[in-house]
Structure 1
Amino acid sequence: MAGAPDEQGRGPLAGEQLGQQDVTCQVFPEQLAVRKPQQGFFPVLTNNQKCQLMLLKTLETNPYVKLLLDAMKHSGCAVNKERHFSCEDCNGNVSGGFDASACQIVLCQNNIRNQTHMNRVVTHELIHAFDHCRAHVDWFTSVRHLACSEVRAANLSGDCSLVNEIFRLHFGLKQHYQTCVRDRAILSILAVRNISKEVAQKAVDEVFESCFNDHEPFGRIPHNKTYARYSHKDFQNRDRYYSNI
């Protein structure tokens, strides 16, 4: 659910816009016509093949994603790669989105640039999927519900990491991290709701404190992969503790 300029799509959540206002998730855009693979002396991977390979690596190695997959399974929403992920061409500059009606994450194979980008998009979308699994989220009509999940996704996915903010040329302000989370949540809402910026800001402000401090399933803000690995170990130990009670 973070936002790009308004796109027509299949789901309630938003995606990532490339460029200076890089936003992580997007309502599913309309699919484009399938492109023919390039011909050459050496075999060239299609966008779909590249997407599938990057997705597999993300699911198997990224600590943020491994924790979210365990948490989804623990909550009764086990994720299956073939069922719950789809690599597709997308209109516009969006990178992916969570389709709540189909319980599926779409990855925009023509816009995801590299493995790091894939890691971040999958993490962001899985946070939305986790929220969908554990709570009765009204994606379609409640701006507050959407705002809460957008705040959590921006906070817990690494969207506002120092490295990403430096690349955006945003840094050095007091409470900059919180400002980044708030701004990206607002951009996301505006990408998928025909409302004024003032209404989006009001929704984010109303839920910000509680949703910013809701760190499930990480238990902390995972500022980097090391934090995410610690969070995953803590989650596994917590799971074992409760299973023995």
Structure 2
Amino acid sequence: MAGAPDQRQPGPAAGEQLQQPQVSCQVFPERLAQGNPQQGFFSSFITHNQKCQQMLLKTVETNPYVKLLLDAMKHSGCAVNKERHFSCEDCNGNVSGGFDASTSQIVLCQNNIRNQAHMSRVVTHELIHAFDHCRAHVHWFTNVRHLACSEVRAANLSGDCSLVNEIFRLRFGLKQHHQTCVRDRAILSILAVRNISKEVAEKAVDEVFESCFNDHEPFGRIPHNEKYARYAHRDFQNRDRYYSNI
């Protein structure tokens, strides 16, 4: 997750059901209470949902970050199905999307995702959480350090802290600014979905930051823009071909 207006909730990877104790959740309270996607005012307008679906389709088919993550998920045995594992719907507040643990879906907030670039960042961010869950035993709800690690990775690898995005936020030009952005957004993400103090969130992020910031899988590098993401995708495909021939 990242802080407002890009709040997202991590959870189980697509295709899996993770049995976890119920915890306080500030992102999708209606979904957790009802067990169904919330239908808001704009959801009655089919064109609103169609726009979300069209942006999602374009992201899945063309965005190099997403294409690499989908390949990596499939390679790890957690293939993602667009119809099953993504849901466009209305969300409360300024939430952009998240993982719904009860349905193993990436929720895309059709009333808050502003444009194609925003859609791509949200999908990329959530797929990083899904990839982390697929490859490791992540205890999202019981171990804040696990959550912090995935949030650090998502902020670092999804483009959330790209130079362009930081310029739009009027935050740039500082020494080691990328690291500072990743740390700050990881903390904001944790606070958005967990009822804990800022001090606890900061401590968790600081404890895992070095190792998780330097974990670049499945990209192999920090993809600062789509050009680097395309290179990373090419390298991943070549690596996959190499291992398949061993």
Q: Which residue of 1 aligns with 2:40?
A: 33
Superposition deviation, residue 222 in structure 1: 0.1
Paired AA for residue 28 in structure 2: F
Superposition deviation, residue 27 in structure 1: 3.7
Paired AA for residue 146 in structure 1: L
8 Å Cα contact 2:11-2:104 kept in structure 1: no
Superposition deviation, residue 32 in structure 1: 4.3
8 Å Cα contact 1:29-1:90 kept in structure 2: no
Q: Which residue of 1 aligns with 2:188?
A: 187
SS state at 1:160 partner? coil
TM-score with structure 1 length normalisation? Answer: 0.87
When residues 12 and 127 of structure 1 are mapped into structure 2, their CA distance, relative to the original with a 3 A threshold, is: closer
When residues 92 and 29 of structure 1 are mapped into structure 2, their CA distance, relative to the original with a 3 A threshold, is: farther
Q: Which residue of 2 aligns with 1:2?
A: 2
> Which consecutive unaligned segments of at least 5 residues does structure 1 have?
14-25, 38-44
Alignment of 1:226-237 (within 5 A): 226-237=227-238
Structure possessing the higher relative contact order (Cα contacts under 8 Å, 6 or more residues apart) = 2
SS state at 2:147 partner? helix
Alignment of 1:169-180 (within 5 A): 169-180=170-181
Superposition deviation, residue 29 in structure 1: 5.1
SS state at 1:46 partner? helix
Percent identity for Structure 1 against Structure 2: 87
Q: Which residue of 2 aligns with 1:205?
A: 206
Q: Deviations over 1:138-163 (max 9, x none)?
A: 11111100000000000000000000
CA distance in 1, matches of 2:53, 2:167: 29
8 Å Cα contact 1:128-1:153 kept in structure 2: yes
8 Å Cα contact 2:11-2:130 kept in structure 1: no
Q: Deviations over 1:219-242 (max 9, x none)?
A: 000000010000001000000111
Find runs of 4+ consecutive structure 1 residues off by over 4 angstroms. Answer: 9-13
Paired AA for residue 189 in structure 2: S
Superposition deviation, residue 194 in structure 1: 1.2
Q: Deviations over 1:58-116 (max 9, x none)?
A: 00000000000000000000110000000010011000001234221000000001101
Alignment of 1:1-245 (within 5 A): 1-4=1-4, 12=11, 27-28=27-28, 30=30, 31-35=38-42, 36-37=44-45, 46-245=47-246
Q: Which residue of 1 aligns with 2:17?
A: none
| Structure (1 or 2) with the greater helix fraction | 2
CA distance in 2, matches of 1:136, 1:200: 20
Q: How many residues align?
A: 224
CA distance in 1, matches of 2:161, 2:81: 28
CA distance in 2, matches of 1:11, 1:161: 21
When residues 74 and 219 of structure 1 are mapped into structure 2, their CA distance, relative to the original with a 3 A threshold, is: same
SS state at 1:33 partner? coil
Superposition deviation, residue 193 in structure 1: 1.2
8 Å Cα contact 1:28-1:96 kept in structure 2: no
Paired AA for residue 241 in structure 1: Y
> Which consecutive unaligned segments of at least 5 residues does structure 2 have?
13-25, 31-37
Paired AA for residue 77 in structure 2: G
Q: Deviations over 1:19-73 (max 9, x none)?
A: xxxxxxx843532434333xxxxxxx62100000000000000000000000000
- RMSD between aligned residues: 2.0
8 Å Cα contact 2:155-2:186 kept in structure 1: yes
8 Å Cα contact 2:9-2:98 kept in structure 1: no
Superposition deviation, residue 12 in structure 1: 4.7
When residues 98 and 130 of structure 1 are mapped into structure 2, their CA distance, relative to the original with a 3 A threshold, is: same
Q: Which residue of 2 aligns with 1:22?
A: none
